[in-house]
C-alpha cells in the first residue's frame, strides 16, 4: 500500500517559497507530500546557502527532528504549491506500518544524512590539516596540529557510532 491516511490526519497547504521547517528548530511531527514539491536547504537565506535536494509527491521529510527530538538540521521550503499530511510522533508507528515504501525512504534519507555529515567532518579535518601545514614554517606546534586533526576525526567516528544508540523494537 503506497499511501494510507487517517480520516483525522492534519493536512496543510503551503505556497511557493513558504518555509515549512526552519533549521535549528525542533518539531514533533514529520510530513508526507501529497502534492507539489519542497526544497531542502542548509543555511537558507544566508550567504552560504546550500540546496540539499528536492522532494516530490509521496516523499517524507522532517523525520530527523521527530525521531531524535533534536533541532532540524535543514530548512524546508515549498518549491511550488504543496499539500502536506502531518504525522505526529503518536501517529508515526502506525504510519510506518501502513506505508512501507516511506519507511524505506526515511531510512535512506537517514543514511544519506549520516554519510553527508561524515564527509563534511572529513573535509573539515583535511582543510584544517592543509591550513596548518601551510603555516608549518611559522612556528606552529606540529604535535598540537596532529592532535587536533585526530580529535576532529574522532567526531566523525562519534557521528557514525551514534547510529547504534537507536533501538528498534519489533
pLDDT for 97-136, tens place per residue? 888 888 888 888 888 877 877 887 788 878 777 777 776 5
Computed over every residue of the chain, the mean pLDDT equals 81
Question: Are the C-beta atoms of 76 and 33 separated by less than 8 Å?
Answer: no
Percentage, residues of the chain above pLDDT 90: 41
Place of cell 582543510: 127
Average pLDDT, integer, range 71-89: 95
Question: Are the C-beta atoms of 61 and 38 separated by less than 8 Å?
Answer: yes
| pLDDT of res. 131 | 72
Residue 165 has pLDDT above 70, yes or no: no
Q: If you count them, how many residues does the chain have?
A: 170
Q: How many CA atoms lie within 13 A of 9 on its CB side?
A: 24
Question: Are the C-beta atoms of 62 and 21 separated by less than 8 Å?
Answer: yes
Predicted TM-score of the model (pTM)? 0.69
Residue 30's pLDDT band (boundaries 50, 70, 90)?
Answer: very high
Give the three-state DSSP class for 46: coil
Amino acid at each position: 500500500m503506497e499511501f494510507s491516511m487517517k480520516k483525522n490526519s492534519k493536512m496543510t497547504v503551503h505556497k511557493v517559497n513558504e518555509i515549512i521547517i526552519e533549521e535549528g528548530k525542533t518539531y514533533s511531527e514529520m510530513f508526507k507530500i501529497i502534492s507539489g514539491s519542497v526544497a531542502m536547504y542548509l543555511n537558507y537565506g544566508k550567504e552560504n546557502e546550500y540546496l540539499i535536494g528536492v522532494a516530490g509527491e509521496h516523499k517524507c521529510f522532517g523525520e530527523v527532528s521527530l525521531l531524535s527530538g533534536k533541532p532540524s538540521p535543514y530548512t524546508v521550503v515549498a518549491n511550488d504549491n504543496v499539500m502536506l499530511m502531518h504525522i505526529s510522533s503518536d501517529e508515526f508507528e502506525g504510519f510506518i506500518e501502513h506505508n512501507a515504501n516511506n519507511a524505506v525512504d526515511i531510512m535512506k534519507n537517514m543514511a544519506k544524512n549520516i554519510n553527508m555529515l561524515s564527509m563534511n567532518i572529513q573535509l573539515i579535518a583535511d582543510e584544517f590539516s592543509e591550513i596548518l601545514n601551510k603555516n608549518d614554517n611559522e612556528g606552529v606546534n606540529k604535535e598540537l596540529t596532529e592532535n587536533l586533526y585526530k580529535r576532529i576525526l574522532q567526531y566523525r567516528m562519534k557521528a557514525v557510532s551514534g547510529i547504534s544508540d537507536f533501538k528498534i523494537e519489533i
